[in-house]
Structure 1
Amino acid sequence: MRKKGFTGLLMASIMIFLAGCNVNMGEGDGAKKTTEAPKAGESKASSAPKKVVFWHAMGGSNTKVVEQLVTDYNSSQNKVQVEAVYQGSYDDLLSKLKASMGTNEGPSVVQMYEIGSRFMIDSKAITPMQNFIDADKWDISQLEPNIAGYYTLGGKLYSMPFNTSNPILYYNKDLFKAAGLDPAKPPKTYEELKTAADAITKSGKATGANFAIYGWFIEQFFANQGAEYVNNGNGRTSPATESLVNSDAGVKTLTWWKDLVDTKAANNLGRKTDDSKKAFSAGQVGMILESTAALKGLVDSAAGKFEVGTGYLPKPADAKEGGVVVGGASLWMMNNRPDDEQKATWDFIKFLTSPKEQAYWHINTGYFPITKKAYDDDTVKENLKKFPQFQTAIDQLHQTKLNTATQGAVIGVFPEARQIVEGAIEEVLNNKRSPKEALDGASKEISSKIQQYNKTVK
């Protein structure tokens, strides 16, 4: 079936999603589309290798890791040839993907950050991964359930997890000792973190803590309190219509954060997580929040200067049971590619999920393995001996109980919502508005944008 362009409604929904990413929408004639599941064991019509184009956003040293995975796959068989194409940042990739929609110039499979999930589903441009899993009778239980959970809606896995992380507390054990704190006991609650941060600041050797103004952290603080970020089961039981960022979980978190800054127990270095990491590596702050993917870099940068400790994401002492939400990105199958190309792509994706490849990915990037058996690989065991701090991240992930709060929110305007929340945090830390006032304003603005988006995709 051929489709020409997009309807006006879908165009509008895409524009709303991309508003937070500052990109433009392109359109053109579509290629042959299919939503049918591939037939297991079906042979290829041509003896020539089927080409698969993989668009990704893994920059820096991670580019080489992706390229090595592709090289290994291409060398392992002669029926499929994968070409990996780095497209810049997540937002750059999204901009290029939307421009390719409705043409034959797009990828076979694309990496998309987790907050783009609702948009990818609503775009009608993808074939759910569940189709291939069911047709191939592929054992989905081999995936980490708390990772697969984010990309699962209505019992259907829409995309395959790829690079996955969650936030943990990093702390300077030497500064803990100097402040009279037990370096083997990182703070677990908001209250304990405040006590530890106060002690470090009063020691005169560093500021107690720093948290980058990053919307992802607020989302994590909600999940760790068992609180949903948007209504309707975090947008999972039915499409979300309202933001809950101004609920008790949000107000309590931002009040605590502001108190840390007001009392000099923490400082405010702005939105850039790199600035927070640099201050920590320089010994200028005692504690930071960061992704698990930053662990190797932080440990290496502290080598010879101080020992890095890791702890769970803190939460209020009286919080309900919660956990962390995975971050990162997943792989989405584009449905405007021929059946045989989609089946070839699925073969590549299965290769990426194998324990051996996941072990290689984890060791060389710091992202979690998405496959449970990867932890049995000797290289992973050796890596854990070298970086025992990562055990904290593994335990935190495995102890998280999957529910609508810890699965994470799904909304079509997530990039913009994050920016709005970050603006609210800045207003509070800069004494322009109270936590409740700032979050009330953010909630109202986000809710309006969610509702506008929903109208365009009905």
Structure 2
Amino acid sequence: MKSLKTRSSILAMTAIMVLLTSACGKAETTTSGSTTESKPATSTAAADVKKPTEPVKVIWWHSMSGELGKAVDKLVADFNGSQKNVQVEAVFQGTYDESINKMKASMDTKSGPSLIQVYEIGSRFMIDSKAITPVQKFVDADKFDLSQLEENILNYYKVDGKLNSMPFNTSNPILYYNKDMFKAAGLDPEKPPTTYEEIANASKALSKDGKSGSSFAIYGWFMEQFFANQGVEFLNNGNGRTAAATEALVNNDAGVKTLTWWKEMVDSKTSANLGRKTDDTKKAFLAGQIAMTLDSTASLRGIVSGAEGKFQVGTGPLPKPSDAKEGGVVVGGASLYILNNKSEAEQQGAWEFIKFLTNPQTQAWWNVNTGYFPITKKAYDEQIIKDNLTKYPQFQTAIDQLHKTKANTATQGAVMGVFPEARQIVETAIEEALTGKKAPKEALDNAAKSITEKIGAYNKTVK
């Protein structure tokens, strides 16, 4: 009996020593390929996930297809290869709309993801769904320094001072113009128009030989941006941020002024109406049929490459009226939400992956390979971004525009639970005005009424 007790004591002491030894280990994150080494703050995946015998599995639903999908797979492979405690599985779920609808269907089951990419206009729904653990919880617990990230990107995803999700793919719209057509029209190719009035005058000078001076796709996102750039809110109650929005303001002076300016150019045949598809307008621009257009910063590399050998591409900031208030752009794109119906270990694992995505090296690689903004300020110190800016100097316009944006409720962006529907309603109003079916004020009055009704119906469903 005595030897048995002695042996038990030895085993117990050995177990304690093993635990103490493992607790002293440090996790080091290293990304492969284009992404260089990074060492996030001591990984809480090691401490909080408690070294399971099997790695914690995090299912990530995303909507990145094609080349963007390949970039996502690379990020996941780099993270998974950097440590052994958390393994992320990326699953493409179709468009943003398709993905969020699948999430809604899975909310009462365990079949959904641990982490999901949701477009910015789904933000209010995600908060109201009560299905998320706000990222702020992990930020606070980990003492994660948010000041290292871009304020004007974080602002969109903050409601009541709390960060609900982590920005992932971020863009905003800029003006693209054909420098060769500017030269031929006697315009300064190094001085893009920046106001509504200058755009109208340039469009007139550029419209000749069967070509149009400009064309802007009928895209609701552009109207939202035009509001923000005038420092004007799109919804009441501080754009739905000081309290839940109850009324759409799309028919205010900023909206009517914008749509009237747009319609006058179309009516005078100095701007072409090519419909709702941004790809159609982009193709016309690359074919040299139009001299100016609006498009996402994420399209920059594709546009510059597409014009190579044909003409030089210039970029300018989003235009606004000459008498506009101080404003800026609203970020577009999507962010990452952690779902609360998963275990603490899975949620913590998702947070570890999010932290990996925010390191400067990862963000630099993401920017160069996708065109989306880096959300981490120090990413601009990485050589690959410096080299990319040398190759695509046009991207500096996008960076400057983001950094010059004045932070307020207008540029934070509107939040409402029916945003996808509202955007479609606004596009219908723009279409009605540009085609002459309704005057700009009438079209926007009808749109505002319809959106307000939908907001009211939605608000009744939210407890």
| 2:199 matches 1:199 | no
| 2:81 matches 1:104 | no
Q: Which amino acid aligns with 1:225?
A: Q
Task: Report matched runs for 1:63-212 at 5 Å.
Answer: 63-201=69-207, 203-204=208-209, 206-212=211-217
Spell out, residue by residue over 1:12-42, the C-alpha distance to the aligned partner (whole angstroms, 9 max, x if none): xxxxxxxxxxxxxxxxxxxxxxxxxx99943
The 1-side partners of 2:400 and 2:48 are apart by 41
Indicate if the aligned counterparts of 2:49 and 2:85 stay in contact, CA closer than 8 A: no
Aligned to 2:441, which of 436, 451, 454? 436
Give how far 1:390 is off: 0.1
Give how far 1:206 is off: 1.9
Q: Aligned to 2:378, what secondary structure does the other structure show?
A: helix
Indicate if the aligned counterparts of 2:51 and 2:85 stay in contact, CA closer than 8 A: no
Match of 1:314 in 2: 319
Match of 1:17 in 2: none
Q: Which amino acid aligns with 1:450?
A: I
The 1-side partners of 2:178 and 2:389 are apart by 19
Match of 2:24 in 1: none
Give how far 1:120 is off: 0.2
Indicate if the aligned counterparts of 1:100 and 1:106 stay in contact, CA closer than 8 A: yes
Match of 1:9 in 2: none
Q: Aligned to 2:425, what secondary structure does the other structure show?
A: helix
Give how far 1:60 is off: 1.2
| 2:288 matches 1:280 | no
Give how far 1:43 is off: 4.6
Runs (4 or more) in structure 1 with deviation over 4 Å come to none
The 2-side partners of 1:351 and 1:190 are apart by 42
Match of 1:366 in 2: 371
Spell out, residue by residue over 1:104-163, the C-alpha distance to the aligned partner (whole angstroms, 9 max, x if none): 111010000000000000000000000000000000111100000000011100000000
The 1-side partners of 2:420 and 2:101 are apart by 13
Q: Aligned to 2:214, what secondary structure does the other structure show?
A: strand
Give how far 1:47 is off: 2.1
Indicate if the aligned counterparts of 1:312 and 1:392 stay in contact, CA closer than 8 A: yes
Match of 1:8 in 2: none
CA RMSD, Structure 1 to Structure 2 (Å): 1.1
Spell out, residue by residue over 1:48-91, the C-alpha distance to the aligned partner (whole angstroms, 9 max, x if none): 11101010001110000000000000000011111000111111
Task: Report matched runs for 1:246-257 at 5 Å.
Answer: 246-257=251-262
* Structure 2: runs of 5 or more not aligned: 1-43
Q: Which amino acid aligns with 1:93?
A: S
Q: Aligned to 1:289, what secondary structure does the other structure show?
A: strand
Q: CA distance change for structure 1 residues 278 and 39 in 2, over 3 Å: closer, same or farther? A: closer
Spell out, residue by residue over 1:166-224, the C-alpha distance to the aligned partner (whole angstroms, 9 max, x if none): 000000000000111000000010000001000000x4262100000000000000000
Indicate if the aligned counterparts of 1:39 and 1:135 stay in contact, CA closer than 8 A: no
The 2-side partners of 1:45 and 1:389 are apart by 47
Q: CA distance change for structure 1 residues 67 and 39 in 2, over 3 Å: closer, same or farther? A: closer
Match of 2:228 in 1: 223
Q: Which amino acid aligns with 2:280?
A: D
Q: Which amino acid aligns with 1:242?
A: E
Number of residue equivalences? 420
Aligned to 2:330, which of 302, 325, 349? 325
Match of 1:394 in 2: 399
Larger Rg over CA atoms: 2
The 2-side partners of 1:375 and 1:319 are apart by 31
Q: Which amino acid aligns with 1:177?
A: K
Give the share of equivalent positions with the same residue, in percent. Answer: 68
| 2:461 matches 1:456 | yes
The 2-side partners of 1:455 and 1:368 are apart by 37
Indicate if the aligned counterparts of 1:39 and 1:136 stay in contact, CA closer than 8 A: no
Q: Aligned to 1:229, what secondary structure does the other structure show?
A: coil
TM-score, structure 2 length as denominator? 0.90
Match of 2:276 in 1: 271
The 1-side partners of 2:316 and 2:100 are apart by 34
Indicate if the aligned counterparts of 2:174 and 2:294 stay in contact, CA closer than 8 A: yes
Q: Aligned to 1:267, what secondary structure does the other structure show?
A: coil
Indicate if the aligned counterparts of 2:45 and 2:349 stay in contact, CA closer than 8 A: no
The 2-side partners of 1:449 and 1:297 are apart by 37
